[in-house]
Structure 1
Amino acid sequence: MDTARPQGGAAALAEPGAGPDATTPALPAGTAGTAGGLQQRPAPSPGLRTDAELSDATRDDSSLRRFLRGLPGIDPVGLEQRAAGLATRSIKKNSKLQAIDLAISMVDLTTLEGADTPGKVRSLAAKARRPDPAQPGVPSVAAVCVYPDLVAVAAEQLAGSGVGVASVATAFPSGRAALAVKLADVRSAVDAGATEIDMVIDRGAFLAGRFGEVFDQIVAVRQACAGRRLKVILETGELGTYDNVRRAAWLALLAGGDFVKTSTGKVSPAATLPVTQVLLQAVADWHARTGEYRAVKPAGGIRTTKDAVRHLVAVNEVAGPAWLDPYLFRFGASSLLNDLLLQRRTQREGHYSGPDYVTVD
């Protein structure tokens, strides 16, 4: 597991407890456009801790169930009020361009449609490498995310670019298949060149209380990843309560997931700010207890620059500035990049360019 603090995370975005009119200080230079270094691991954190309770939690099914059901409950009203408060924050005008570039560098540019073709993936990969060919200063995105049968196409197009190749797997989006089928799915993607695997948990098993079964499947998938980073999709829109979201996040962390990810994008609601806050708090608590850094990826429904900035504010407030880095936070999105590019042009040129400015995927 990753134990290292990424270098150059953005500075604090807003003072805790600031009012609705609060604005953020400038983001420091060098915080965005780091996609080319995503595979690098910084120096280990000093004093890595072993948490006895966490070790005991995975000893057997009853210990795991006791740990997950013993997690503190979440006050939904308080959580949603905090999310609403964070959503009112803004970034100072002279910092918006840096915030936009940071968000671009965090995008997992995604196409997960039945009608996807090699040609569409090639076009998407070209856009991932150079989101705006007319503006060479625009950073590359973090990764391109596709189905396993199109991984080889993406890998060929992205070779040497520093942009990751992410593949959904494990019977996406339902997660309902035999373990052997799920593992074959993962191995196929890895063999084709995937650098990251986005798996889905079996929500039916989780909701039925079969936590050990879900844990064992994540462990098996992690082994099949052969060192690739593993994102565990919880499909939070099907979990029913914030308490279940917290339990699922901790289950994924205990099983070795590098990321906890909200959604497949195929279920509504997908990524919401309150749910993202729950995941951010989970990885922050995990770091406090173990010294290890784990990542968060909200996916689905994040379409505008305003949405992205609200999430960046939440990242800073809940997890901390170290997570303002594409190694530890991503956006799973298809249309978000276009709006970020439009708003970037607006910030640079002082006028709105219109939707014809960007390419249509």
Structure 2
Amino acid sequence: MESHIAERSAQLPQLAEPRNPGMELDLDWVAAVQANTSAIERRCATLPGRRSVKKDHQAAWLLKAISLIDLTTLSGDDTEGRVRRLCAKARQPVNAGILRSLGMEGLTTGAVCVYHDMVPTAVKALEGTGIPVAAVSTGFPAGLSPFHLRLAEIGESVSAGAEEIDIVISRRHVLTGNWQALYDEMKAFRLACGEAHVKAILATGELGSLRNVARASLVCMMAGADFIKTSTGKESINATLPVSLVMIRAIRDYYDRTGYRVGYKPAGGISKAKDALMYLALMKDELGHRWLQPDLFRFGASSLLGDIERQLEHHVTGAYSAGYRHSMG
């Protein structure tokens, strides 16, 4: 029983794992990385037909998904009140009666993700829960502010109590093949984070090709990223299954060579429970059960939780509730 409770409790990334220390930049390894786009797309297109779960099994997977959500608000009109409501939702993500009937009292989301200005509010609202606060940083979402200001922003968020920092890379380094510059940038961000764990946002929709996604993933891990993340959620193309497959396999290759596990976070556009199930199935197929824990996998999402709650309510009661009954903030 204790092991089940531990699995569903929110954790910091890599808490149960040696933290990825990074390694020297290996340009030969980077240059050897390729991506067969047609094969990747075929593999992902067959996933929904091969990996389908129903009834109790589906409910169990959806409960697992809740524990992996970085519940997020990143809007220009965010207020302290909205963030406090979001934190309340993170603490009690599903109607207490539904959780009680499923035997999952105490379930929480994996983290709450906000802009820097909202970090103190979120930290106070989550005090004593064990739910970490993640802050987007380094000139999010474009990452084009002066470098010293991006480093300073990380320090400010850590000082305010953020335990996880979601940084954005400079896309131009990938598009021009300047892997040394990307490596040096990522290494500096990791150093500025200190004990806080760093998620590297690749903005995959702006990198031009799946090969670039694979190479950027590898370089960020070499520089010490604790997680690699698809998107800011602000690009025109965000998380997709093909991009996820490429990044997941880069994580597997890195683990095979170094022995260090790096986490994965798809973000942007994942709003339906059935989509979450596909990502979980892909992770299970490619990386195994260990990567289905909060310290190695997160969803960056806001509206996803509402749809999962509706599906769980249907599972318990046999009826769907209106979507407006499950607002996030």
What TM-score, normalized by structure 2, do the two folds share?
0.92
Within the candidate set 106, 109, 117, 1:141 is matched to: 109
Q: Which runs of 5+ in 2 are unaligned?
A: none
Which amino acid letter does the alignment assign opposite residue 78 of structure 1?
A
Distance 2:228 2:212 in 1: 14
Distance 2:18 2:135 in 1: 28
Change in 2 beyond 3 A, CA 1:240/1:154: same
Structure 1 partner of 2:127:
159
Once the two structures are TM-superposed, the CA of residue 74 in structure 1 deviates from its matched residue by: 1.3
Does structure 1 conserve the Cα–Cα contact (< 8 Å) formed by 2:72 and 2:112? yes
Once the two structures are TM-superposed, the CA of residue 358 in structure 1 deviates from its matched residue by: 1.6
> 1:101 aligned to 2:53?
no
Distance 1:349 1:196 in 2: 37
More helix by share: 2
Q: Which runs of 5+ in 1 are unaligned?
A: 1-6, 9-28
Structure 1 partner of 2:299:
331
Structure 2 partner of 1:74:
35
Change in 2 beyond 3 A, CA 1:30/1:310: farther
Deviation string, structure 1 residues 331-355 (Cα, Å, up to 9, x no partner): 0001001001111111122222221
Which secondary structure does the structure 2 equivalent of 1:91 belong to? coil
> 1:187 aligned to 2:172?
no
Does structure 1 conserve the Cα–Cα contact (< 8 Å) formed by 2:137 and 2:166? yes
> 1:113 aligned to 2:83?
no
Structure 2 partner of 1:131:
93
Change in 2 beyond 3 A, CA 1:347/1:30: farther
Structure 2 partner of 1:84:
45
> 1:220 aligned to 2:193?
no
Change in 2 beyond 3 A, CA 1:109/1:98: same
Distance 2:125 2:14 in 1: 21
Change in 2 beyond 3 A, CA 1:106/1:360: closer
Which secondary structure does the structure 1 equivalent of 2:239 belong to? coil
Q: What RMSD in Å do the two structures reach over aligned CA positions?
A: 2.2
Number of residues of Structure 1 aligned to a counterpart in Structure 2: 321
Does structure 2 conserve the Cα–Cα contact (< 8 Å) formed by 1:299 and 1:331? yes
What TM-score, normalized by structure 1, do the two folds share?
0.84
Within the candidate set 230, 246, 271, 2:214 is matched to: 246
Change in 2 beyond 3 A, CA 1:43/1:294: closer
Identity of aligned residues (%): 42
Distance 1:341 1:174 in 2: 32
Matches for 1:1-361 after TM superposition, within 5 Å = 33-35=8-10, 37-38=11-12, 41-42=15-16, 58=25, 64=27, 66-71=28-33, 73-88=34-49, 89-135=51-97, 136=99, 137=104, 139-361=107-329
Once the two structures are TM-superposed, the CA of residue 207 in structure 1 deviates from its matched residue by: 1.0
Does structure 1 conserve the Cα–Cα contact (< 8 Å) formed by 2:17 and 2:261? no
Structure 2 partner of 1:18:
none
Distance 2:112 2:137 in 1: 14
Which amino acid letter does the alignment assign opposite residue 203 of structure 2?
E
Change in 2 beyond 3 A, CA 1:286/1:67: closer
Distance 2:254 2:29 in 1: 14
Which amino acid letter does the alignment assign opposite residue 252 of structure 1?
C
